[in-house]
């Protein structure tokens, strides 16, 4: 089943994006637009891949920016799918803290 999500760009009004560089905003937009129509599992894999590509290009997302992206991606998910995304996010955060 393909999904219709993120039909508007209201996420771009989020205060988290105040002062963000154009390069980073373009990457955020690319990730969100690229995830349209994907199933949650695909979205998460895509998000991680794109975040890694961004990091290799010197673009690193803050926790607030990452949360914004994930919240946009979760808009049309079921509660069960959201729970899975949140669980993976917690695991990623824990791994990130260990690697610091």
pLDDT at 3: 40
Alpha helices in 1-100 (DSSP H): 22-34, 40-56, 63-73, 79-98
Rounded Cα–Cα distance for residues 52 and 61 (Å)? 10
| The model scores a pTM over 0.75 | no
How crowded is residue 30: how many other Cβ atoms within 10 Å of its Cβ? 13
Rounded Cα–Cα distance for residues 30 and 11 (Å)? 13
- Per-residue pLDDT 10s for the chain (100 aa) are 334 444 467 888 888 888 888 999 899 888 888 887 788 778 878 888 898 899 999 998 888 888 888 888 888 788 988 888 888 778 777 766 665 5
pLDDT at 98: 63
């Amino acid at each position: 089943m393909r999904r219709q999500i993120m039909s508007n760009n209201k996420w771009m009004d989020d205060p988290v994006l105040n002062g963000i560089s154009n390069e980073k905003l373009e990457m955020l937009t690319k990730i969100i637009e690229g995830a349209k129509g994907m199933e949650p599992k695909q979205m998460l894999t895509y998000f991680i891949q794109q975040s890694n590509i961004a990091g290799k290009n010197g673009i690193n997302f803050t926790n607030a920016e990452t949360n914004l992206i994930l919240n946009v991606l979760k808009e049309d998910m079921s509660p069960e799918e959201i729970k899975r995304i949140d669980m993976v996010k917690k695991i990623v955060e824990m791994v990130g803290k260990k690697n610091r």
